[in-house]
Amino acid sequence: MTTTSPAGLAAPPDGHPVSDLVGGGTRSPATDAAAALLDQLIARGVRDVVLSPGSRSQALALAVADAEERGLLRLHVRIDERVAGFTALGIGRETRMPAAIVCTSGTAVANLAPAVFEAHHSGVPLLLLTADRPPELRGVGANQTTRQPGIFAPNTRFELDVPTPTEIDDTGEGDQSVMLRDIADQAVSAALGDAVRPAGPVHLNLPFREPLAGSLPPWWGADAGEGAHTVDAPLENDQSGALYQGGGGIGDADEALAADEEPLVLPRGIRTIVLAGEGAGPRAEALAWEG
């Protein structure tokens, strides 16, 4: 019996990995590149990926689906890119770690703009992984396409039009993989912020040539997310905790309740409604959860 995987791919029977269905044993520079990038994002503590499926981003979707099967991350599928953007924004706001959004190329990318603007002004870590056409297929008048590099530039902490993958890498240690791991490091660091600039959105534009997907590289099964925690394990302090500052970096970071503090308990009454907006603090959040 064939089922459907969380990434929207048909899942193979008998419990085989998602990757067994794709490529038929053939390899693709796109998939090798996606695996190297995702591997380093996982190693840096990224635990949530929000996927809006599409053809150009299938290499990323394949790697993400397989990583979820291995327990390395949580995959959230949202068909609409605008919904995906705000889902990732909410995850970043709650966890203080950037959730990665994966979407296909073209005008789909523009639907992420509202979430990007909100993340920028609110100081929330966010990571955009937008698939794109290679340079030779840009600006040719194809339907539902647009110029993606720099589309969010004024509102990002870091943005890059990544070189188009060209290499098959059996070891995960080739020049292309090393470059992509370095880019992933820069992206997570920029999204988390530092003492100079607060957390915020980062945009990696990822062009892929056909074939758009193939079998995952041989090193992936043994080394994927090497050194990373599973999603059920707590993250180390140095891997989590974005510098979150409301109002685009102006204001105080949220602080947890002290050990001897208790949330203010309001007496229950008839038709009582409490509205606590963004930045109301941990006491208001505790009331919301317990009320």
Task: State residue 270's pLDDT score.
Answer: 67
Task: State residue 27's pLDDT score.
Answer: 92
Reported as a single tens digit per residue, the pLDDT across 199-227 is 999 999 999 999 998 999 999 976 555 55
Asked if the structure places residue 285 within a domain, the reply is no
User: Looking at per-residue confidence, does 148 or 121 come out higher?
Assistant: 121
Q: Is the peptide bond before 198 cis (omega within 30 degrees of 0)?
A: no
Asked if the structure places residue 218 within a domain, the reply is no
In this structure, of 138-142, 187-191, 226-230, the range with the lowest mean pLDDT score is 226-230
In the chain, what is the straight-line distance between the N-terminal and C-terminal CA atoms, in Å? 45
Reported as a single tens digit per residue, the pLDDT across 79-130 is 999 999 999 999 999 999 999 999 999 889 999 999 999 999 999 999 999 9
Task: State residue 182's pLDDT score.
Answer: 98
Confirm if 65 and 159 have CB atoms less than 8 A apart.
no
Reported as a single tens digit per residue, the pLDDT across 63-91 is 999 999 999 999 999 999 999 999 999 99
Span 25-33, mean pLDDT? 92
Q: Phi, psi (5° rounding) for residue 161?
A: -90, 100
Span 259-287, mean pLDDT? 72
User: Looking at per-residue confidence, does 16 or 225 come out higher?
Assistant: 225
If we measure between CA atoms, which residue out of 46, 80, 79, 85 comes closest to residue 64?
A: 46
Asked if the structure places residue 11 within a domain, the reply is no
Asked if the structure places residue 189 within a domain, the reply is yes
3-state secondary structure of 83: helix
Q: How high is the mean pLDDT of the chain?
A: 81
Query: Identity (one letter) of the amino acid at 59?
Result: A
Q: Phi, psi (5° rounding) for residue 203?
A: -120, 115
User: Looking at per-residue confidence, does 168 or 249 come out higher?
Assistant: 168
Confirm if 156 and 116 have CB atoms less than 8 A apart.
yes
Confirm if 148 and 191 have CB atoms less than 8 A apart.
no
Reported as a single tens digit per residue, the pLDDT across 224-241 is 555 555 555 444 433 444
3-state secondary structure of 135: helix
As a whole number of angstroms, the distance between CA 208 and CA 151 comes to 18
Asked if the structure places residue 232 within a domain, the reply is no
Asked if the structure places residue 187 within a domain, the reply is yes
As a whole number of angstroms, the distance between CA 64 and CA 58 comes to 10
Residue with tokens 């067994």, as numbered in its chain: 20
Q: Residue 28's domain spans which residues?
A: 19-207
Counted domains in the chain: 1
Q: Phi, psi (5° rounding) for residue 99?
A: -85, 140
- Read off the CATH number of the domain in which 112 is found: 3.40.50.970
Q: Quote the tokens at residue 35.
A: 């695996």
Asked if the structure places residue 155 within a domain, the reply is yes
Asked if the structure places residue 276 within a domain, the reply is no
Question: What band does 256 get if pLDDT is binned at 50, 70 and 90?
Answer: low
